[in-house]
Structures are given as structure tokens and as C-alpha cells.
Amino acid sequence: MKNDRGWLPGQRDVDWIAELGRPIEPALAAIEAAALPERIPIVDRDSGRVLSALAAGRRRIVEVGTAYGYSTLWLALGQPADGTIVTIDPDRSRTDLARGWWRQAGIADERITVITAKALEAFEGEEPALAGPFDLAFIDALKPEYGAYLDALVPRLAPGALVIADNVLWSGRVADPADQETNTAALRAFDRRVLGDARFRATILPVGDGLLIAGFRG
């Protein structure tokens, strides 16, 4: 058992881990380059690698929040070749760009279905593509709606599915009880809810901005 609680992985460790892995796909690098000047929110590379690893063997994935399709592509690259993803985002201009990067990475169009709508409206509208069952769900959209996304997703999950949510540490603000800003409070409530829900076995990885990972027990 590790007893040195004073040690945390630093940049040297992170860089060493990155060096061990495969070179990043050019399409992923292209998305990073495009997102930075436009301030488009995307997961960081470390979180992307985790998503890709967790997507192995997950043939039906649903994603809430597409933006430039960066996390979508990490998930698609980790999936089996016959895997599919349904991703939801209301901004068609962004998802059209995302489609181009997915194609650049060799992902066939039929593998990724984009639903151009606000997520809760898409779920309430009984969109056929969202019928499920899904074996992985990734949440990365409006923070005050995380709880509502989960409510909509649970009936669509297969037994043993994974639910993953980004930004759950919110740059350290969630752990500060004095911070009651709307997004912070919503994420704090979401974290407490999922980690205390008997239907899930959940934890939070201190990767990127915090990744919550929950195995659905049904």
C-alpha cells in the first residue's frame, strides 16, 4: 500500500506516460490547434487517452456535448471497428467541422450519428437514435444539466455500462465548500449524487479537469 500521501504525479510523470504511448493522431492534433484560438472547450489529452482506453469493447456509445468532436474521436479510435457513437450538440457549424476531422482520421460517416439539438430536448423528443441500450455514455455539456442528463440516460443504459463525466473537479473549485457559483454547485451535487447512488460503482480520477467514472449495476 502506498503511504506517501504527500506525493502526487507531476509534469515529469505525465510527460513520461505520454512518451510511452502511440503518437497522437494528426486529426486530434488538428482539432487541438483549431480549438485553442477559438476557445472551444475540449478535454485534455490525458482525459482523451482515458476515454479511448475505456471505449475498448464498447460498441454503442452516446455522447452529450460534441463541440469540435475531439472527445468523440478519442472514443471512436478506442472502439471496436464496428462500434457506433451518437453525439448530441445544437451547434451545426461546429459538428460539421468535426465530421471533417473524423473523416481525416479514417472514421466512416456511418459510425457517428450527430443529433443537432439541445440534449434535453433530444432526449424528450424520443429521437430513435437515442433509444439505446448504450454501453458507454460520456457527459460534457452544460454543467447545471448534468443531473438531468443522467436521469435521461439511465433508462437507456445496458447492464454494465459506463457513465463518464468531464469537468467534475472544475479546476479545484468543487472541493471548496465556500464556492457556491452555479456551475460549481451543480457539479458538486452531481458528484455526490453519483458516488452515493447504489446503482453505480463510481469514482473520480484526478485527470484533466476531473473525470467521474461510474459502472452501471442496474
Mean pLDDT by 10 residues, the chain (218 residues): 71 88 94 96 94 97 98 98 97 97 98 97 93 96 98 97 98 93 97 97 95 95
The Cα–Cα gap between 146 and 143 comes to: 5
Compute the Cα dihedral for 7, 9, 12, 13 and give only its sign: positive
pLDDT for 46 equals 93
The architecture (CATH level 2) of 11-216 comes to: 3-Layer(aba) Sandwich (3.40)
CB atoms within 10 A of CB 32: 17
Quote the Cα angle for 79-193-4, to 5°. Answer: 75
Quote the Cα angle for 27-33-39, to 5°. Answer: 125
pLDDT for 100 equals 98
Compute the Cα dihedral for 85, 91, 96, 97 and give only its sign: negative
Domain ranges of the chain: 11-216
Q: Give Rg (Cα) of the chain.
A: 17
